């Protein structure tokens, strides 16, 4: 594929998992170094098929990108022209952090680390089915700070049943003593087929999740953070450029098994099977498994659905029964636009049902 578009982002999907946690529904787990080598070679080959495109942002996501190792990530970046790239992000598992790895990644062009922390409390981490962190939160961020990336982010999970109100307060205070410049706070969701789904005693309580979200939002606002999107806050200048492109219905190309792409209203995705992906790319074939061309009405709806998640808000005429949403305290309005309230953010799925 050859294309020429300004402000295109590249998503590199690494579906290898560090662990299988209770709240995730990953279907692929591998620690076979041979398969990792094959996969990385195929990702590089797929990147080459894109031509000489320069990307505004590059994001390594998926299962646990850091699981394949800093040298493999550096190898992939070596196949790209980073001369016009503003941001290169890598999702990191806490147990993969190390000065040597971080320094290599920075030297390879990585400018932003996203740390999948989930909680500063080890008991909460364990209750989510995750391997305990090998070092404390404070030690982890000390290493990230020492390497001096342009920015970095921490992911938090809100609503774990093992976290009491007191524990949450203590954990929040501990995090806020050494906060990251960008914060993602995700309410724990129950996915079909996960261990959490089968254990109803550990299902999150909606009221508790709302309280946790409100606590985090209020605390970050007081510290000068901007609310970027329903689950994301940042200090000025530390917004995730890659995610901002997603939320504004921008253009992005995905490479790797299961990667999704969007270019001017056309969406497609690669096969999710690592084995099939490797076979197709090795044979010089496309890994594309699905494609959808959105009509104008669908593009408009998707644009509004995404913008609803942001402070920008959505035009009033994009809603039905907007007065009902106002009366329920889910949105606020001015003469032209409707914006989610804090309550509306938590219940955004309900609000989006009123989009035309």
- Profile the chain (356 residues) by mean pLDDT over runs of 10 residues: 71 83 53 84 96 94 91 97 96 93 97 95 87 91 96 95 92 95 92 77 88 97 98 98 95 97 96 96 97 96 96 95 96 96 95 96
Contact 155, 117 (CB under 8 A): yes
Q: Give the per-residue pLDDT at 4.
A: 53
Give the pLDDT of residue 129: 81
Helices (H) and strands (E) in the chain, counts: 14, 15
Written as six digits, the tokens of 262 are: 């969007």
Predicted pLDDT at 346 = 94
Report pTM. Answer: 0.92
Q: Dig out the tokens for 31 from the structure.
A: 């620690």
3-class secondary structure, 338: strand
**What Cα–Cα distance (Å) separates residue 287 from each residue in 8, 43, 62, 73, 256?**
20, 11, 17, 21, 8
How far is residue 233 from each of residues 41, 100, 164, 185, 249, measured CA to CA in Å? 36, 29, 24, 8, 19
Nearest 5°: the CA angle 186, 184, 207 is 35
pLDDT of residue 55: 96
- What pLDDT was estimated at residue 170? 93
Q: What is the DSSP string of 164-210?
A: -HHHHHHHHHHHHHS--SEEEEEEP---TTSHHHH-GGGSPPHHHHH
Structure tokens at 50: 């894109």
Domain boundaries, the chain: 8-247, 297-352
pLDDT value, residue 128: 85
Q: Classify domain 8-247 by CATH number.
A: 3.20.20.70
Beta bridge partners of 314: 338
Q: How far apart are the first and last CA of the chain?
A: 35
- Cβ–Cβ < 8 Å for 23, 157: yes
């Amino acid at each position: 594929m050859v294309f020429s578009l300004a402000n295109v982002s590249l998503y590199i999907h690494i579906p290898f998992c560090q662990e299988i946690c209770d709240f995730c529904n990953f279907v692929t787990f591998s620690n076979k170094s041979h398969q990792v080598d094959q996969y990385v070679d195929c990702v590089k080959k797929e990147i080459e098929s894109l031509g000489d495109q320069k990307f505004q942002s590059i994001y390594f996501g998926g299962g646990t990108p850091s699981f394949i190792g800093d040298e493999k990530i550096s190898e992939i970046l070596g196949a790209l022209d980073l001369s016009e790239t503003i941001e290169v992000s890598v999702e990191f598992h806490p147990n993969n952090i190390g000065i040597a790895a971080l320094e290599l990644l920075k030297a390879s062009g990585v400018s932003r680390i996203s740390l999948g922390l989930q909680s500063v409390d080890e008991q909460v981490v364990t209750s989510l089915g995750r391997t305990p962190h090998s070092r404390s939160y404070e030690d982890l961020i000390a290493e990230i700070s020492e390497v001096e990336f342009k920015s970095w982010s921490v992911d938090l999970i809100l609503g774990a049943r093992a976290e009491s109100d007191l524990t949450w307060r203590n954990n929040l205070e501990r995090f806020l003593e050494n906060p990251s410049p960008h914060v993602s706070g995700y309410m724990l969701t129950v996915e079909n087929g996960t261990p959490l789904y089968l254990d109803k005693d550990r299902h999150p309580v909606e009221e508790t999740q709302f309280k946790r979200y409100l606590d985090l939002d209020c605390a970050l606002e007081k510290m000068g953070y901007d609310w970027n999107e329903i689950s994301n806050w940042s200090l000025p200048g530390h917004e995730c450029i890659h995610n901002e492109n997603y939320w504004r219905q921008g253009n992005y190309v995905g490479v790797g098994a299961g990667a999704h792409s969007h270019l001017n209203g056309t969406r497609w995705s690669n096969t999710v099977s690592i084995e099939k992906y490797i076979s197709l790319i090795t044979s010089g074939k496309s890994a594309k498994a699905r494609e959808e061309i959105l009509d104008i009405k669908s593009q408009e709806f998707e644009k509004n659905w995404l913008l609803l998640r942001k402070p920008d808000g959505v035009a009033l005429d994009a809603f039905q029964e907007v007065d009902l949403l106002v009366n329920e305290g889910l949105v606020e309005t001015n003469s032209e636009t409707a914006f989610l309230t804090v309550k509306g953010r938590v219940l955004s799925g309900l609000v989006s049902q009123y989009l035309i």
